[in-house]
A and B are shown apart, each in its own frame.
Chain A
Amino acid sequence: MSGIWVVLEERDGPGGKVSRISWEAVAAGQRLAALTGLAVNAVVAGAQTETLAAEAASKKLEKVARVEHPLLATYTADGFSLALQQFFEAEKPDYVILPHTYQVRDYAPALAARLGEVLIGDVTAIGEGPVFTRQLMQGRLNGFYRHTGGGPCFVSVQAGAFRADTVEAGMAEVTVFSPTIEATQIRTRPSERYRGSAQTVDLGSAQLIVSVGRGIKDADNLHMVQELATALGAELGASRPICDNGWLPMDRQIGSSGQTVSPKLYLAVGISGAIQHLVGMKGSQCVVAINKDPGAPIFEAADYGIVGDLFEVVPALIEAVKAAKQ
């Protein structure tokens, strides 16, 4: 066994830098190291990994491995599963830590299965044991998981759950691993990534946001929330189901698949607060939640809450805001 290995990803955009959530995964690896006494290493996979590996090698890591092959130039689940399977079969890690990104979600479950293991995904905390915490029931419940398999324990960590800035500087040895991959083993052909419809609303820079969720029940009721936003001088945002239903355009969507916002005030109306939504707004300075369900996870993230029927609370709030502005 060879300790803890953290899989690093490249940040979007030019420059070839390690992504922030990858450093958070390293921080999780160091948390696990403190509990187990194991060494932390990092691995990068791609066609050209020198720059990324050099950046990683400047941190407090034992080793940095470059898993390199021309067929890894573009991400494919087949390519990455195969390359990392070969690497981990050779390396025999105790733990593999990954950032819980859309890419990891696409290949890590298959990679773990190839080694007879199961990924403990979207982990928010690591405790003595080690015991891994992840959210269940859309964030209404925490589950505590333990690894019982005989091989490596695969863990992916939720964005923002560990602090990237705790990773200390250091100097690591860099090694190169060349996996054997045939072109025919890569069965999917991905195109270049593209942006969806031109984003016309930049919620990222909005100071005040009123955001609406499933609790609004019907598109015909949206005017009420729009009126509240207008009264406050706020932008209107929404959780995914509202945009899925076509009630508001996709560029109003806040969450992992939409925009990430950090306004002064985030007022969530009828939003239960699933993890995918919370990651998009947890940087907000002040969060207000209006929801009929006192157990809704949005209240965990809120500074102020009103438990009640939004169809009564929102009209009352519009009046109160208007009165305060006079």
Chain B
Amino acid sequence: MKIIVAIKQVPERDAQVRIDAAGKWIEEAGLQWALNESDAYALEEALQLKEKHGGEVVVLSAGPERVGSTIREALAKGADRAIQIDCANLGNRDALSVAKLLAAAVKPENPDLVLTGLQSDDLGLGQTGVILAELLSLPHASLILHVEKTETGLTVKREWEEGWFQTVEMPTPAVLTIQSGGNKLRYATLMGIKRAKTKEVRQVTAAELAVDSAQAVVLERVALPTKQKSTQILPGTAKEAAAALVEKLKFEARVL
């Protein structure tokens, strides 16, 4: 089974958000970067499928040079090789335009399965995988927690709202977007990190993929959210704040 996992590098979860001078995005200088969480689960699912059925896991990621460190992390966890789409202005592209880049890189590989995380932790669009399937003319399923290979294709466990699930059968090749929590994530081993250094990372540029850069939607500007509620921040030491909170809950909010 040849599996491509599309992964994204995103700012680390606890990163401080500062808006850049143009007011169009966040200040990226000084940020720490990490593998997008649901993409980590997509990678885990791919590695487990490979361990069961054999084959190859190829990671695919688009972005500027820094993306290389996240690709190495995926290789250290056990992916066999990688394709890096060098694209400095990823943030200026809409979901369709990004999916076109990925589709152009996936097509010549003819994979049996394409996995990606359900959504990114930065833009949170949750569309790339579904559009990718559309562009590749492949069937898809989203919010997937478990994948099983069958004689004719796949049986997947799909999540719905409020604790409902569904089993979906589908042929391969296919595209799945993976929900977090379906598996336990592995850590890279020392041996894995060593091996990753010798694995192939093929570089392609956005220009080489000959994808048009027409935009159907644009992110005009960003701003910090305005408060919906007036939050009382309780100051002081932990002890003082805790005592003040209990007072407030008892006598002001009257919920205790």
Among A109, A208, A305, the one with the most B-chain Cβ atoms within 10 Å of its Cβ is A109
Complex A-B: 18 CB contacts under 8 Å: A77-B139, A118-B96, A141-B26, A143-B123, A148-B216, A188-B139, A193-B164, A199-B163, A232-B256, A244-B180, A250-B163, A265-B253, A285-B253, A286-B249, A306-B234, A306-B242, A317-B246, A321-B246
Chain B: interface size category? 35 or more
Partner of B245, one of A146, A187, A306: A306
A136 CA to B17 CA in the complex, in Å?
11
Chain A neighbourhood of B16, CB < 8 A: 295
Q: Which of A112, A117, A275, A294 has the most CB of B within 10 A?
A: A112
A190 to B139, CA, bound (A): 13
Cross-interface CB contact of B234 among A81, A121, A297, A304, cutoff 8 Å:
A304
B249 and A265 contacting across the interface, CB-CB below 8 Å: yes
A265 touches which of B123, B229, B234, B255 (Cβ 8 Å): B255
Mark interface residues in A134-146 (1 if CB within 8 Å of B CB, else 0): 1111111111111
The answer to whether B217 and A149 touch across the interface, beta carbons within 8 angstroms, is: yes
Chain B residues near A117 (CB-CB < 8 A)? 96, 216
Contact B170 A300 (CB under 8 A): no
Complex Cα gap A141–B18 (Å): 9
A243 touches B26 (CB 8 A): no
Contact B248 A304 (CB under 8 A): yes
Q: Tell me the residues in window 113-153 of chain B with beta carbons closer than 8 Å to chain A beta carbons.
A: 121-127, 130-131, 133-135, 139-143
Instruction: Using CB atoms and an 8 Å cutoff, list the residues of chain B in contact with chain A.
Output: 11, 13-14, 16-17, 19, 26, 94-96, 99, 121-127, 130-131, 133-135, 139-143, 158-171, 179-181, 184, 215-225, 227-229, 231-234, 237-239, 241-243, 245-246, 248-250, 253, 255-256
When each residue 34-63 of chain A gets 1 if its CB lies under 8 Å from chain B and 0 otherwise, what string results? 000000000000000000000000000000
The reply to whether B11 and A106 form a contact with Cβ atoms under 8 Å apart is no
- Residue A227 interfacial (CB < 8 Å): no
> 1/0 contact trace for A300-326 toward B, CB 8 Å?
111111111100110111011101100
For B26, list chain A residues within 8 Å (CB): 137, 141
A192 an interface residue at 8 Å Cβ cutoff? yes
CB of A137 within 8 A of CB of B130, answer no
Q: Are A246 and B140 in contact (CB under 8 A)?
A: no
B121 near A138: Cβ-Cβ < 8 Å: yes
Task: List the A side residues contacting B142 at CB < 8 Å.
Answer: 77, 102, 105-106
Across the interface, do B221 and A144 meet the contact criterion of CB distance under 8 Å? yes
* Residues on the B chain within 8 Å of A199, using CB: 163
- State the CA gap A78–B140 with chains docked (Å): 9
Of A113, A135, A251, A295, most B-chain CB atoms within 10 Å: A113
Cα A324 to Cα B167 with chains together (Å) = 50
Main SS at interface, chain B: mixed
Given contacts A109-B127, A141-B17, contact A300 B227 (CB under 8 A): yes
Is A194 in contact with B166, judged by CB distance below 8 angstroms?
yes
| A117 to B97 alpha-carbon distance, docked (Å) | 10
Q: Tell me if B168 and A138 are in contact (CB < 8 A).
A: no
Known: A141-B26, A257-B163, A303-B232. A187 touches B139 (CB 8 A): yes
Partner of B255 from the list A151, A192, A285 (CB cut-off 8 Å) is A285
**Chain A interface, >50% SS class:** mixed
B-chain residues with CB within 8 Å of residue A106 when the two chains form the complex: 130, 141-143
Q: Which of B165, B171, B238, B243 is the one whose CB lies under 8 Å from A308?
A: B238
> 9 tightest CB-CB pairs across the interface, nearest first?
A244-B181, A149-B216, A187-B139, A109-B127, A316-B242, A312-B238, A110-B134, A317-B242, A265-B255
Cβ contact within 8 Å between B238 and A313: yes
Closest CB of chain B to A13's CB: distance in Å?
11
Contact B131 A136 (CB under 8 A): no
Interface contact B238-A137, CB-CB below 8 Å: no
Task: Determine the chain B residues whose CB is within 8 A of the CB of A316 once the complex forms.
Answer: 237-239, 241-243
Q: Is the CB of A306 within 8 A of B17?
A: no
**A313 to B216 alpha-carbon distance, docked (Å):** 48
**Does A301 contact B161, Cβ atoms closer than 8 Å?**
no
Beta-carbon contact of B233 and A307 below 8 Å: yes
Contact of A320 among B11, B143, B215, B245 (CB under 8 A): B245
At the interface, yes or no: A195 with Cβ under 8 Å from chain B?
A: yes
Give every chain B residue within 8 A of A88 (Cβ-Cβ): none
Asked if A167 lies at the interface with its beta carbon under 8 angstroms from chain B, I say: no
Closest to A117 in B: B216
